[in-house]
Every structure is written in C-alpha cells, then in structure tokens.
Copies of this chain bind each other. A is one copy, B any other.
Amino acid sequence: MDADKQLQDFFLRGDQIYMPHLSVDCVIFGFHDNHLKVLLLKWKKGGQWCLPGGFVKYAESVDDSAVRILKERTGIDNIFLQQFHTFGDPKREKGKSLKVAEKKSWIHKRFVSVGYYALVEYSKVNPQPDIMSIECRWWDINTVPTLIYDHNKMIEKALQILRLDLNDHPLGYNLLPEKFTMPELQRLYETILDEELDRRNFQKRMLGLGILERLKERKTGGAHKAPYLYRFDKKKYDKAMKQGLSGGW
C-alpha cells in the first residue's frame, strides 16, 4: 500500500529531512455554534487523539514549519499564529518508549516541542489527517478527550495565554466571518473567557477600540430584532495588534 510505504519511509528516513529531537505542535482554535473548538487528529496506531504537529526541516524556520503544518491540516494560509511556549520536559511524552536503543527510529527519541496557537475561521477549514492519523476533526474545547503525551496541558496553556492576550490585543479577525454582529463577537469573547459579559458595556468597549466598522441591517433568519453587521477595519486592527491596546504602566 502506498500510504504504508510512505509511513515506513518517514520512520526510516525522516531524520534526513527533519531536525531530530525538535517538534512543533499547534493548538488550532475555531469558533462555531457559540462554542470554542480545537482541531485534533486521531492516530492510526492506538486510536488516541493528539494535537496537529510536525517537525522542522533543516533549512526551515520553526515559525515556518508551524505555518506549513497549519496549511497541511486546514488548507488555510495566512493565519494568525502565535508561539506560546516550548515544552522541554524529558518525561513529557509519557507512554513513549524512550530507550536509547539505536535500532529505534529517530521518531521514538525524545522531542522538545514548540507550541503555537492559531485562530482560524471555522468554516474555512478543511480538516486533513496527516500521515500518522486517520481522522482530523474539530472538538469542543469542553469535551476534548485525554490526549497523548502532554497535549492536554498544551491546550490548557494555550488557552490561558490566549486569555491574557485578550487584555491588550484585539481578537476576532481570524475567528469570525468577514461580517458579523455585535452579539456574535460578544459570544466569542464570552466563550473564550468562559464568563458572561454585559451587553452594553461590551459594545462600548469594542467600539471604543476604534477597529470596527458598522454596516447595514441583516438576517431575516433571526427570530428577533435584526442586529447590525460589523466588519473589522483591517488597518486599524493590525495596528492595534502590533502596538497592543494600552497596558498598565
């Protein structure tokens, strides 16, 4: 079988392409149906779930490898991607055989993993399993199963840092469709923060950032008063992303 042969080649000769002992894992967040989602892969061997990850080519930057991995799993380019932590505990890959046996493939050795989180638009994602997995799909953040290694902790840490980043960075451009309503934006924040926010104060704060542009009415579909549609002013959004939104001192 072709896939099998490819996999075998990967085990045998992957170390000619990729740097040993170094991996990249991505926590890819999406937002759908008022729920925060993470993209996960199911391993062929064992059936356990894990984060989308990969390795760093010899002449490739770590950032670029994260971009590549993301592109391969989602089909999406040009995504907001943020390095958030590097995981370097030798015991992080629990369950993995770390014997010094030379016979073992490079891939069974210890890996230090650089963690990235990404914010993507749910509907634009076309989930693609990688060579080691048979399935790739979204999981609700609240029902994520027990993952391999320290991947649950990775998600936890990514979420924690995402929440901190909310304090001084705008959010939404990569998680929402181009046009969205204020309530939708609020749901996104509430979902990420796991906390209810006051509708009126939220709106004031958001508009106060000066990165939103109001459009016209919408949705005959909604069963109630039609909310306005908004769109991010990309220039101002990017500026705010770069500079930060204020900050303590």
Contacts and interface: CB of A to CB of B under 8 A. Distances in A.
Chain multiplicity (copies): 2
Given A20-B21, A112-B19, A60 B166 contact: no
A58 B110 contact: yes
Interface string A88-108: 111000000000000000000
A85 interface: yes
Interface string A41-74: 0000000000000001011111101000000000
Contact of A249 (B62, B110, B195): B195
A68 B221 CA distance: 62
Contacts of A191: none
A61 B83 contact: no
Interface string A138-178: 00000000000000000000000001101110000000000
A88 B112 contact: no
Nearest to A66: B88
Interface string A1-45: 000000000000000000111100000000000000000000000
A23 to B, nearest CB: 11
